Amino acid sequence: MQKEQQQLAALVRGKKVAFIGAGVSHKTLIEEFVGLGAEVTLCDKKKTVEEFGDYADTIRRLGIHLSLGEGYMDGFKGQDIILRTPGFEYYQKPLQDAIAAGTMVTSEVELFFDFCPCEIVAVTGSDGKTTTTTLISEFFKAAGRRVHLGGNIGAALLPMLPDVSPDDVAVVELSSFQLISMRKSSKVAVVTNVTPNHLDHHKDMQEYIDAKRNILIHQVPPCRAVLGYENDITRAMQADCKGEQVWFTRLHETDNGAFLREDGMLCMAENGVVTPFLAQKDVKLRGLHNIENLLAAAAAVWGRVPVEAIQKVGSTFTGVEHRIEPVRVLDGVTYYNDSIATSPTRTIAGLRSFDQKIILIAGGYDKKIPYEPLAPELLAHVKVLVLMGATGPRIEKAVREEPGFAESGLEILHADSMEDAVALARGAAKPGDIVSLSPASASFDVYPNFEVRGRHFKEIVKGL
């Protein structure tokens, strides 16, 4: 057993440990914690053990205690450690009462940060964090480094711990839900941007911003912070930086950081010394927002990998699934899956990546974020708007109230389902048109996540 695994074992052995929910990562950890000698309680809204399906047999086999139903949070009492899921609101009273009583409240990601033996590069932001995280991972791989990629990007990190060596690098995507309780950070931290998001979960915008700030506040020098210069909120976060601070910017030049020069070269500046490293024309990623993601990723790894690794990946990487992803050309119409666009800012970035007006499918679960900033972009970039879901009426209201709507010629259609939306979009499309699913909304009204929504869209389009 490695030293880090021994430290984890020492933390949980003989302790009462409660897990909130039995998601994929928790199922793995529950079995591991029982094996390390913890007394485990599973707290879940499900009312009976049978509702866990096949996992019910594991619960019985491991002798896991259960706290279920409406009073599932009663199981927090008397615990030594509570592991919360990112989606569980940190400031709920039963959890805060447990903290006040001396219970250690943590999460799978936080424990990984506590025990990881290798360098960690962490990325957060409202938009662009998955592409930036993936680019950083690919840069390190191209340089021959062994990479552990995880966090909000999908893979649980703590189960990887026995396989992590000091010479490796962990590249971690972090959401505000994960960051809100974190008290430790990485040697390299990236904040891409901060715009209104998840306001159905956070009590207000300031709580959301403060959660993001944790990635910087808890850094320990020597460290590096990479911040987006164009975003007012991330620019103000310079005051939170503990060590080296560099910018990334598409619209300005900087003495310290990555920027897009007027001649179309991506450059890195170190104390005013500028190194061009890639031509914009050679970047395969679609959209100016992805130039920003590439600049952020390059600034994060600069000096840690050879420039050749950045050039190789930057000129060949074509993107991540569900991010302006080409699906199919049918009858001269090109279909794109941009299901990751769960906020107006993401949809705006997607719209701006096309050089013509498009047919847009939008709407979904309501995260209580404003749609007024989206309205002028819809008038400028969309010719047919197909709306669905709870946010459909809110998006339509914002568009109809936008000056210039009556003269814009924008056609608005309404769909009851994804199948209906695709059919309406296809019916409105002519050869040469573009149809994009870019919802500006979360998926939770119909789908468990944006990935399932995007794959459903692709299945429908491929079946036409």
- Give CA torsion, residues 262, 264, 267, 269, to 10 deg: 0
Q: Report d(CA 359, CA 432) in Å as an integer.
A: 11
Q: What is the pLDDT of residue 302?
A: 99
Tell me what percent of the residues of the chain surpass a pLDDT of 70. 99
191-217: b or e for each residue (b if 16 or more CB lie within 10 Å)? Answer: bbbbbbbbbebbeebebbbebbbbbbb
Q: Using pLDDT thresholds of 50, 70 and 90, give the confidence band for residue 226.
A: very high
Q: Name which residue leads in pLDDT, 405 or 4.
A: 405
| Averaged pLDDT, 29-51 | 94
DSSP 77: T
Average pLDDT over every residue of 285-291: 93
Question: Can you list the domains of the chain with their CATH numbers?
Answer: 3-106 (3.40.50.720), 110-314 (3.40.1190.10), 325-462 (3.90.190.20)
Task: State the chain's mean pLDDT as an integer.
Answer: 95
Distance of CA 218 to the CA centre of its chain: 20
d(CA 122, CA 173): 6
Q: Is the pLDDT of residue 191 over 60?
A: yes
- Strands (E) in 116-214, as ranges, are 119-124, 147-151, 169-173, 188-191
Write the CA distances from 140 to 229, 302, 320, 376, integer angstroms.
24, 11, 17, 40
E-assigned strands of 76-223? 81-83, 104-106, 119-124, 147-151, 169-173, 188-191
- When pLDDT is cut at 50, 70 and 90, the band that residue 298 belongs to is very high
β-strand partners of 188:
121, 224
Closest CA to 240 of 198, 212, 268, 205: 212
pLDDT in tens, 303-354: 999 999 999 999 999 888 899 999 999 999 999 999 999 999 999 999 999 9
Given this model, what pLDDT does residue 137 score?
98
The single-letter code of the amino acid at 406 is A
Confidence (pTM): 0.83
At 104-161, the pLDDT tens digits run 999 999 999 999 999 999 999 999 999 999 999 999 999 999 999 999 886 789 988 9
pLDDT of residue 199: 65
Q: Which of 298, 275, 276 lies closest to 285 in space, CA to CA? A: 298
Q: In the chain, what percentage of residues exceed pLDDT 90?
A: 88
Phi, psi of 230 (to 5 degrees): -75, -20
Query: Exposed e or buried b for every residue in 71-101, given b needs 16+ CB within 10 A?
Result: ebbebbeebbbbbbbbebebeeeebeebeee
Q: For position 152, what pLDDT does the model report?
A: 87
Task: Give the C-alpha separation, 60 to 198, whole Å.
Answer: 36
Q: What is the pLDDT of residue 262?
A: 97
pLDDT tens digits along 366-386: 999 999 999 999 999 999 999
Q: Give the whole-angstrom CA distance, residue 163 versus residue 148.
A: 9
Q: Tens digit of pLDDT for each residue in 433-452?
A: 999 999 999 999 999 999 99
Q: Distance between the two ends of the chain, CA-based, in angstroms? A: 54
Distance (Å, rounded) from C-alpha 95 to C-alpha 82? Answer: 9
Q: What is the pLDDT of residue 1?
A: 53
